[in-house]
Structure 1
Amino acid sequence: MAAGDPRGDPLALGPEPEPAASAAQSRWGDQEPAAEIQFKILRGHSDTVSSCHFCFEDTKILSCSYDKTLKLWDVAKGFPIQVFEEHKAPVSECNVSPDNKRVVTSSHDNTVKAWDMETGKMLWTIEHEGIVTSCNISWDGKYVVSGSDRENAIHIIDAANATVVAHVQGHHKSTITRCCFDPDNQRVTTVSYDKAIKLWDMITQSTSITIKEGHTNAISDCCFTSDGHYLCTASWDRTLKIWDVKTGEFRCHGPISLNQGHEGSISSCLFSQDASLVVSGAYDQTVAIWDTDAGCKKLSLKGHLDWVTDVAISKDKKWIVSASKDSTLRLWNVEKMDRLPSVMESRKARGSKIAQCEECEKPFSYLHCSGSEAINKCVFCRLSSPVRNVLPLPPSVPPEL
């Protein structure tokens, strides 16, 4: 999602001139000369690509753009097989239902629309009083949430009959940049330019958690782990933070911070299916892949000619897709990234070790220092424990709650 300020990166260092795209780069199947990571370029949008998702078991990619269109791409063929064209202004975000049958979009034309994926037919439209900055479908496909810049409000929509079942005005003090359901379909999380994180309860129709000043600058994106236990937030302060929202452990210990991965404001973030990785995109034109256990960046993907606005990762963690202000999407093959000399050297330099978690039995990496205690649980099992003595991650200051 293009959650950043469209007028410019507030913390940009000043981009260096980029070489003009060569004729060879216009073909499907491109790869950077001598690149460690192969990639393919998807061209078809004529303006900023604001949102991207894998769907249909990672065989398709859904994208939307400021060119007012939504496109469904065939990954193998590399071109759009379905185009949705009904919006009258830039499309800020797109989201696909769990069964891949429906698509919802939000737009600067003040509407949220639902579409039939197979036919491309528009099913319904909900008018808002202001620009709709974000939208999301619940994990059970029953509801849609949208965020509007008018009164910084969220709308909960019944997806079956297209009726607004809740309208929360003044939910934030500034524009909502992202809204999403948790996997249990019980709470809606929103983040905003006001630096706050809020979780709104679907049953009580009230805000259950508010984290004030969750970051030191505007928060651009948020995402849950697949079990709903942890929430990751991305910010213009160039950091990612992981919050234990299931137990509220962050109230005592604060979040886990992931930093030193980008030189520009971070625009987007997403967990892998197993939560072992976090992928982020930023205004420095790069995509970062983070090891959540070791708490550090594994790899940077470079190639976009402008801001990276959104990222997605396939369920098998073999592919990453990124959307950009340069009007393209890039499909990166990261299946063998752990074998790259730069990744192995970095792990060795950090003293990173591989172990098996005694609780969930999944392999995890950790930083081992001479004289340090042995670590026998992955970061998520440690976060879930009442006592957390060892956390090989950058320290963070608990936010004001």
Structure 2
Amino acid sequence: MNMEDAIATAEDIDISQESDKKALWEHEQLAQVRIKVIKAHSASVNSCEFYDNDQKILTCSEDKTVKCFNADDGLCIKTYKTKHKETISEARGTPDRSRFVTSSLDKAVHCYDAETGKMHWSGIHAGMVLCCRVSNNGRLVASGSDLDNCLKVWDTHTGQVIHSIEDLHSSSITSVMFAPDDDKVITTSMDRRTMFFDLKTRKVTITLEGHINIVSCCDMTKDERRFATGAWDKNMCIWDIATGTYRSKGPVRLSAAHEGSITCCKFSPDGGMLVSGSCDNNLVVWDMENEIQKIKLQGHSGWVEDVCFSQDQRWLMSCARDQTVRLWNIEDSDKIPIVLEKKRAVGVKIQKCEQCGKPFSLAQLEDHSDITKCVFCRVHSSDLYLQNMKSGLSENET
């Protein structure tokens, strides 16, 4: 690493506290899910996460910057002008909040100091680095690439490569994560497979094959009872890894909710909910106890790139190609009726939305005269990048 690159300058980090950069509330009065919108990046926002006990937000973008926000008001605290020469695909912070790691299409993985913006170390893949993740104990970093389809595991503090497994998959690695105990690294790939790589034995212990298109994302509950994969086949698959019943029965499929390829997914901290994001610009929150759709969230005008829950589960965060980060207040989501024939309550009026065609309940509205759209279709959405996203979606599905 060039020592000049390791020195933070005034051009590397920008501390901004401009009031006009605060998050804006963007929802209608009748909306049962309130929305905060953060608009600070100048290009697609590719990853987002809560950290520092839900007090801050870390994002990265196609504009080659990483930003830190106050979660409460959406104020941009810091903008890190990274050394990457191409799009940053993912940025993840360490549990102690002292550092963050980035991956990029310029084939590099960087580790930065969160306070000063100084780059601690830089590593290289042979191909574009599509994903990265920090271990739960903060000691390791995993990254996956295309071309050589390589999984690399790095020491967070020194940048030393601990594992380098080329051709782990037969195509590009699309996402990577550590198991809750940090004993395995899990990867998904364009080859439609998901693999569990054991860090002690250096062997693949589990290979999952159940999707008919690119597997784009995965997540696991903290108790390791449920494992989820999302794919371009528009399905979420739930695998019972703990008991191994997936070997005989296969996964449980959650389908018919997204009209576009699924791009990201995340379990809630207690494992009771799962959220998926898609190229249809929507998010779906799934009730894992009943394995059914809980709510659909509409508002983005570009592909949803990343999703996550706050630790208190009051907020759901998403980022997208429309250059925005959205915070959805879901603390009252249990009060939103699940629209299913077998769950329809007596006295609840069900109406078909004229925009999305889905049935919705009018039970909780004080005055529902002249309401022809469901609450989510009535949520204001920007038409920014709409035409570009539509054309991109058409190309993706062909």
TM-score by length of 2: 0.78
Show the 5 A alignment for 1:47-66: 47-66=43-62
Question: What is the identity, as a one-letter code, of the residue corresponding to 1:110?
Answer: K
Structure 2: gaps (5+ residues): 1-19, 346-398
Question: What is the identity, as a one-letter code, of the residue corresponding to 1:218?
Answer: I
Q: Output the CA distance in 2 between the equivalents of 1:148 and 1:62.
A: 22
User: In the TM superposition, what is the alpha-carbon distance from 1:130 to its structure 2 partner?
Assistant: 1.3
Q: Does 1:149 find its partner at 2:181?
A: no
Structure 1 equivalent of residue 309 of structure 2: 313
User: In the TM superposition, what is the alpha-carbon distance from 1:347 to its structure 2 partner?
Assistant: 5.9
> How many residues of Structure 1 are paired with residues of Structure 2 in the alignment?
324
Show the 5 A alignment for 1:42-81: 42-81=38-77
Show the 5 A alignment for 1:164-179: 164-179=161-176
Structure 1 equivalent of residue 322 of structure 2: 326
User: In the TM superposition, what is the alpha-carbon distance from 1:228 to its structure 2 partner?
Assistant: 2.6
Question: What is the identity, as a one-letter code, of the residue corresponding to 1:146?
Answer: S
The question of whether the paired residues in 2 share the 8 Å contact of 1:110 and 1:128 is answered with yes
Q: Does 1:231 find its partner at 2:227?
A: yes
Q: Output the CA distance in 2 between the equivalents of 1:94 and 1:239.
A: 26
Q: 1:29 aligns with which of 5, 16, 24?
A: 24
Q: Output the CA distance in 2 between the equivalents of 1:71 and 1:28.
A: 14
Q: Does 1:197 find its partner at 2:190?
A: no
Q: 1:273 aligns with which of 269, 273, 282?
A: 269
Compare relative contact order (CA 8 Å, sep 6+) and give the higher one, 1 or 2: 1
Q: Output the CA distance in 1 between the equivalents of 2:96 and 2:225.
A: 23
Structure 1 equivalent of residue 108 of structure 2: 111
Q: Output the CA distance in 2 between the equivalents of 1:351 and 1:164.
A: 56
Change (3 A) 1:351 1:32: closer
Structure 1 equivalent of residue 214 of structure 2: 218
TM-score by length of 1: 0.78
Structure 2 equivalent of residue 283 of structure 1: 279
CA distances 1:65-119 after superposition (whole Å, capped 9, x unpaired): 1110111110122121122212211000111112222211100111111112222
Question: What is the identity, as a one-letter code, of the residue corresponding to 1:147?
Answer: G
Q: Does 1:206 find its partner at 2:229?
A: no
Greater shift, 240-249 or 220-229, is seen at: 240-249
Q: Output the CA distance in 1 between the equivalents of 2:152 and 2:21.
A: 41
CA distances 1:283-338 after superposition (whole Å, capped 9, x unpaired): 11111110011111111111111111111111111101110000111111111122
CA distances 1:210-249 after superposition (whole Å, capped 9, x unpaired): 123x201111101111123321101111111111223322
Question: What is the identity, as a one-letter code, of the residue corresponding to 1:154?
Answer: L
Structure 2 equivalent of residue 261 of structure 1: 257
User: In the TM superposition, what is the alpha-carbon distance from 1:138 to its structure 2 partner?
Assistant: 1.0
Query: What secondary structure does 1:326 align onto?
Result: coil
CA distances 1:356-389 after superposition (whole Å, capped 9, x unpaired): xxxxxxxxxxxxxxxxxxxxxxxxxxxxxxxxxx
Q: Does 1:82 find its partner at 2:75?
A: no
Structure 1 equivalent of residue 15 of structure 2: none
Q: Does 1:350 find its partner at 2:347?
A: no
CA distances 1:112-164 after superposition (whole Å, capped 9, x unpaired): 11112222222111112211000011111111110011211111111122111
The question of whether the paired residues in 1 share the 8 Å contact of 2:21 and 2:74 is answered with no
C-alpha RMSD of matched pairs (Å): 1.7
Query: What secondary structure does 2:24 align onto?
Result: coil
Question: What is the identity, as a one-letter code, of the residue corresponding to 1:301?
Answer: L
User: In the TM superposition, what is the alpha-carbon distance from 1:348 to its structure 2 partner?
Assistant: 7.0
Query: What secondary structure does 1:162 align onto?
Result: coil
Q: 1:40 aligns with which of 36, 41, 45?
A: 36
Q: Output the CA distance in 1 between the equivalents of 2:189 and 2:161.
A: 22
Structure 2 equivalent of residue 368 of structure 1: none
Q: Output the CA distance in 2 between the equivalents of 1:186 and 1:323.
A: 29
Q: Does 1:129 find its partner at 2:126?
A: yes
Question: What is the identity, as a one-letter code, of the residue corresponding to 1:197?
Answer: T
Query: What secondary structure does 2:248 align onto?
Result: helix
User: In the TM superposition, what is the alpha-carbon distance from 1:26 to its structure 2 partner?
Assistant: 8.8
The question of whether the paired residues in 2 share the 8 Å contact of 1:279 and 1:311 is answered with yes
